[in-house]
Structure 1
Amino acid sequence: MARLFAKLKAIDFFKKIPSDLTEATLTGAWLSILAAVIMVFLFTAELISFMSISTSTQLVVDRSPQNELLKLNFNISFPALSCEFASVDVSDSLGTKRMNLTKTVRKLPIDLDMIRVGSAVEDHSHKPAPKYDAEGHFDEEPDIDVTVPLSHVNFDATLARYPIVIVNFFAPWCHWCQRLEPTWEAATKEVHDKYPEWDGRIRFAKVDCTQEMELCRAHFIQGFPSIRVFRKGHDDIVIGGMHEHETYMGDRTKDALVAFADSLVPSAGQPHRKHVNLSAAPKTSGCNLAGFVMVKKVPGTLTFVARSEGHSFDHTWMNMTHLVHSFHVGTRPSPRKYQQLKRLHPAGLTPDWADKMHDQFFLSEHAQSTHEHYLQVVLTTIEPRRSRHTGSYDAYEYTAHSHTYQSDSIPSTRFTYDLSPIQILVQETKRPWYQFLTTSCAIIGGVFTVAGILDALLYQSFKVAKKLNLGKQG
């Protein structure tokens, strides 16, 4: 056993020098203290570095799940687009088209100063389009006493004379107006035969908006034909304390119009009552549209435009001036995730990092002006180390380029979005424990070795200097 231990001693890396063969020096003591201080300092710095979490940023192909939908959030005011016809449409490069989205969109009437003046407008886009009599149905009717269209000269006097006046605001070029014309004339004759002038309770009338543009604009007519009901000189209906127009939304057949007139006659001279075929049309010129839409993650367009299945529009009347209160992509981060994003984002967060169009105003200076905003969207995914899968957050940022042009089609406001196929992936990383051990050993060993070399150099230098000094003295 003793021989075995003797052989083990032969492979000792740390052979000891007898203490009586060593010499302690003051220089070595100072170097030892300095080396110890440096070791402690470097070790502490290394420990802090090991305990801290660093980030790595990579550019990768978008790893979003297949068929994942993207949320577009908006709040936009159009001071000259009535909520009666305002529509939100979505289309994309795959051929998907969705018209007049209503489930996640709120419409509020506003005035020219963009101040709310009414309650939320109920959208009738999913109701069946009004029926019409067959074309040519009244071609063989005997001569009909066609009511001469009202003008600004006699409009107010007519409203004041009859308790109930049903007015058809039309434009001769409008297809739907042309189709309604014979029906309206036939219904006018039958109603006036049934309720002659001496009865004086109801009157059918019409206004040519191409001749009486100011009169039609004063009543906020944007789509043709618009059938409004005036009682006691006005078409106001009070809903929730707000004044709005009454507009007829029923079928546009002779029987339907006559039946509608019959149902209104008993209320002549009585307090105002809402009719089943009447709907509130905002008594304002503008509309605020707010909400969100879910779209596929492919290039597409979000369009704001006037739309109706039973109306036509004069393009020169449409004014798409608008104020973008907010437009952002994706879901707003919670306060905790916002702080993570602010801390880990490669370039930090600017005040408009998620909403580059906040409070921007776009004016239609010319007729038939369409506004187009081109958005390039980039996805940044933040993956904190402690919750790599459950706590990750997708932050969408975009650049916006806007321009206005005149078009022959109906004016609109379009947000064209294009998503980058490259995703910015920011991950928190922590150094492995073995790197900490390796670096710690390197610090201790390196400082010890360097200090030993310096001590040897200084010791030998002092010896040489001492010998030279003794030689000079001898």
Structure 2
Amino acid sequence: MASRIFSRLKAIDFYKKIPSDLTEATLAGAWLSILAAIIMILLFGMEFLAFMSTTTSTHLIVDRSSANELLKINFNVSFPALSCEFATLDVSDALGTKRLNITKTLRKTPIDHVMMRVGAAKDDSVKKPAPKYDHEGRFDEEDDIDITLPIDHNNFQQTLARYPIVVVNFFAPWCHWCQRLAPTWEAATKEVHDKYPEWDGRIRFAKVDCTAEMELCRGHFIMGFPSIRVFRKGHDEIAIGGRQDHESYTGDRTKEALVAFADSLIPSAGQPHIKHEHLEAAPQSSGCNMAGFILVKKVPGTLHFAARSEAHTFEHSWMNMSHMVHSFYFGSRPSSRKYSLLQRIHPEGLNADWADKLHDQTFLSEHPQSTHEHYLQVVLTTVEPRSGNKMLGYDAYEYTAHSHTFMSDDTPSAKVTFDLSPIQIVVKEASKPLYHFLTTTCAIVGGVFTVAGILDSILYQSVKLLRKAELGKQG
């Protein structure tokens, strides 16, 4: 019974055997067998390497960032002719959000005209209220006072050398704030010099007309009007790091406040190393480096670098917004591991400036009142490694940059306008499935074996035909 079942099973054998005494081995078949084996091994090795490697797939989708997600913008920009005293960063966006004078995440460092650091970074985190003024017209009927006549470059240094303390008002006649301060300054000057006359010689109030003494004002890095500076022998005659130090008064601009300020200065007259607690260091250089980051919504917006003050007026023709962008990029810098991943699977590879197209570029103001504008179009590329670990994934922001300079009737500035693409590029890394490898391996073995068999059959039959032809000729 069992033998009968087994005999029936033999009928469905796909691989029926030919008796060995009916087969014939040939030398050509041997060479074809060796060649087929070599080809099988090579193709198998190549397929195995392909199986062990990974492939990437790229998709374009609508940006799936959450509605409340914020974008980090990092920047480091140097302005050789913009004083840190007035340098500000404002941010606005297409939704109408405006943030003026960003300070929390911004660091300002004084630099000179060749962008070398010349002082400590300035902290503007504590915003001071605008100074108060006396009522307009309060001192308009005061008599003219000779001592209130402006000093100039001919007697400026002599005035500083004569008095232990000199408080100088650098002004411009056309400036609104200067016009409002003028009668108060004259009244305060009269009262201070009545209290401390020439024979006392401890303090002097003076003023300089910057429209007439442009070089003198520029030499003291005056950018906004009015600027009140305090020069004291106790500091100015002591060179600190090759520079002479003096201070800036930023308090109220009323007569009472100025006279009280003069009274508070008197005890330190002629005393070196004593600084007034309510004074700030005056600018010792012409420029400012602004570095830091801001968080913005993912909508079109603008970063606005400019000189701004609620209590000063600026001469536009004096302002030079030339700048150098050391770095400007979106998001966070990738770790070395994430950078290697991005470099490996990025669709087009990475250029040196892949994330920072403005890196180390310089933009010069060749004409007065020049405003610089940079337009950036930002694209998000998300890479997802095959490991499935989201911590290894990375959001890479790349952008194109277009810059131009134009003459502006407003305060010269440097603007960076950014626009984010609604399309997100997703690059996924994946490995080949095992079934694909097995299928391909079988195809390699079967295909090469079959093709080699066909070639061997053709070759064998061709040889037989040739031999028959030769025998026919001989017969």
Q: Taking structure 1 as the reference length, what is the TM-score of the superposition?
A: 0.93
8 Å Cα contact 1:236-1:245 kept in structure 2: no
* Match in the other structure for 2:452: 451
Task: Give the CA deviation at 1:76.
Answer: 1.7
* CA distance, structure 1, for counterparts of residue 248 and residue 236 of structure 2: 8
Consecutive unaligned residues in structure 1, runs of 5 or more: none
* Match in the other structure for 2:222: 221
8 Å Cα contact 1:228-1:235 kept in structure 2: no
Deviates more, 1:118-127 or 1:218-227: 118-127
Per-residue displacement from partner, 1:321-370 (whole Å, max 9, x unpaired)? 11222222222222222222222222222222222222222221111111
8 Å Cα contact 2:103-2:125 kept in structure 1: no
* Match in the other structure for 1:132: 133
* Match in the other structure for 1:469: 470
Instruction: Map 1:49-60; keep pairs closer than 5 Å.
Output: 49-60=50-61
- The amino acid that maps onto 1:355 is D
Per-residue displacement from partner, 1:229-269 (whole Å, max 9, x unpaired)? 11139758878996443001212222211111111112222
* Match in the other structure for 1:42: 43
* CA distance, structure 2, for counterparts of residue 49 and residue 281 of structure 1: 67
Matched residue pairs, number? Answer: 473
- The amino acid that maps onto 1:16 is K
Cα gap change, 1:429/1:248 in structure 2, threshold over 3 Å: closer, same or farther?
same
8 Å Cα contact 1:76-1:323 kept in structure 2: yes
SS where residue 282 of structure 2 aligns?
strand
Task: Give the CA deviation at 1:171.
Answer: 1.6
* CA distance, structure 2, for counterparts of residue 120 and residue 45 of structure 1: 59
Per-residue displacement from partner, 1:128-166 (whole Å, max 9, x unpaired)? 222222334445x65463711222233222222222111
8 Å Cα contact 2:234-2:274 kept in structure 1: no
* Match in the other structure for 1:286: 287
8 Å Cα contact 1:118-1:282 kept in structure 2: no
* CA distance, structure 2, for counterparts of residue 142 and residue 435 of structure 1: 98
- The amino acid that maps onto 2:343 is K
SS where residue 373 of structure 1 aligns?
strand
Instruction: Map 1:30-179; keep pairs closer than 5 Å.
Output: 30-123=31-124, 126-139=127-140, 143=143, 145=145, 147-179=148-180
Deviates more, 1:343-352 or 1:315-324: 343-352
* CA distance, structure 2, for counterparts of residue 101 and residue 111 of structure 1: 23
Task: Give the CA deviation at 1:124.
Answer: 6.5
* Match in the other structure for 1:386: 387
8 Å Cα contact 1:376-1:417 kept in structure 2: yes
Cα gap change, 1:300/1:405 in structure 2, threshold over 3 Å: closer, same or farther?
same
8 Å Cα contact 1:74-1:290 kept in structure 2: yes
Per-residue displacement from partner, 1:161-202 (whole Å, max 9, x unpaired)? 222111111122222222222322222222122222222211
Aligned pair 1:430/2:431, yes or no? yes
8 Å Cα contact 1:77-1:288 kept in structure 2: yes
* Match in the other structure for 2:28: 27
* Match in the other structure for 2:14: 13
SS where residue 95 of structure 2 aligns?
coil
SS where residue 49 of structure 2 aligns?
helix
* CA distance, structure 2, for counterparts of residue 174 and residue 220 of structure 1: 17
Cα gap change, 1:210/1:396 in structure 2, threshold over 3 Å: closer, same or farther?
same
Cα gap change, 1:244/1:379 in structure 2, threshold over 3 Å: closer, same or farther?
farther
Instruction: Map 1:299-378; keep pairs closer than 5 Å.
Output: 299-378=300-379
Cα gap change, 1:243/1:106 in structure 2, threshold over 3 Å: closer, same or farther?
farther
Aligned pair 1:194/2:195, yes or no? yes
Per-residue displacement from partner, 1:275-295 (whole Å, max 9, x unpaired)? 122101221111111222222
8 Å Cα contact 1:156-1:233 kept in structure 2: no
Task: Give the CA deviation at 1:226.
Answer: 0.7
8 Å Cα contact 2:111-2:287 kept in structure 1: yes
- The amino acid that maps onto 2:364 is L
Deviates more, 1:350-359 or 1:165-174: 350-359
8 Å Cα contact 2:369-2:408 kept in structure 1: yes
* CA distance, structure 2, for counterparts of residue 364 and residue 125 of structure 1: 32
8 Å Cα contact 2:44-2:444 kept in structure 1: yes
Q: Taking structure 2 as the reference length, what is the TM-score of the superposition?
A: 0.93
Deviates more, 1:402-411 or 1:380-389: 380-389
- The amino acid that maps onto 1:145 is I
8 Å Cα contact 1:170-1:226 kept in structure 2: yes
8 Å Cα contact 2:54-2:429 kept in structure 1: yes
* CA distance, structure 1, for counterparts of residue 337 and residue 90 of structure 2: 34
* Match in the other structure for 1:395: 396
Per-residue displacement from partner, 1:411-434 (whole Å, max 9, x unpaired)? 001111122222222221211111
SS where residue 390 of structure 1 aligns?
helix
* CA distance, structure 2, for counterparts of residue 198 and residue 421 of structure 1: 74
Task: Give the CA deviation at 1:228.
Answer: 0.6
8 Å Cα contact 1:110-1:287 kept in structure 2: yes
* Match in the other structure for 1:208: 209
Deviates more, 1:257-266 or 1:56-65: 56-65
8 Å Cα contact 1:118-1:243 kept in structure 2: no
Consecutive unaligned residues in structure 2, runs of 5 or more: none
* CA distance, structure 2, for counterparts of residue 237 and residue 177 of structure 1: 31
8 Å Cα contact 1:79-1:285 kept in structure 2: yes
* CA distance, structure 2, for counterparts of residue 202 and residue 124 of structure 1: 33
